[in-house]
């Protein structure tokens, strides 16, 4: 079981509850009850509870959108030409002789 000095609930494999010791008290909280309270506390803070997979999927989609935008900006030379003189330098160079 968990250490008596720990000041937090602990979940141990095979047990259907979180537990903690405080002084001479043993506190047990069924897993479902803990998750209900967690969901309520998150909701009070305006945080939607999501799994790690859901969060990582959203992060991946956001990263892909950012990479797409970056790629578009890198290839939009007309945009950069229009910014000539605004910390962007555009100059004419002689064409190479063939």
Q: What is the pLDDT at residue 6?
A: 74
Domain boundaries, the chain: 1-49, 51-87
Residues near 72 by beta carbon (within 8 Å), at least 6 away in sequence: none
Q: DSSP characters for the chain? A: ---TT--S-EE-TT-SEEEEEETTEEEEEEHHHHHHHHHHHHHHTT-----HHHHHHHHHHHHHHHHHHHHHHHH-HHHHHHTBTTTB-----PPPP-
Q: What is the pLDDT of residues 44-88, one digit of tens each?
A: 999 999 999 999 999 999 999 999 999 999 999 999 999 999 999
Q: What is the pLDDT at residue 98?
A: 61
User: Per-residue pLDDT for 38 more than 70?
Assistant: yes
- In whole angstroms, what is the distance from residue 38 CA to residue 98 CA? 72
pTM (2 decimals)? Answer: 0.57
């Amino acid at each position: 079981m968990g250490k008596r000095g720990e000041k937090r609930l602990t979940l141990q494999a095979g047990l259907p509850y979180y537990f903690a010791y405080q002084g001479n008290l043993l506190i047990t909280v069924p897993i479902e009850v803990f998750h209900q309270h967690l969901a309520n506390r998150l909701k009070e803070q305006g945080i939607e509870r999501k799994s790690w997979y859901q969060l990582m999927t959203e992060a991946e989609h956001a990263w892909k959108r950012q990479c797409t935008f970056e790629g578009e900006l890198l290839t939009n030379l007309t945009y950069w030409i229009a910014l000539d003189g605004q910390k962007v330098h555009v100059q004419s160079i002689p064409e190479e002789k063939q």
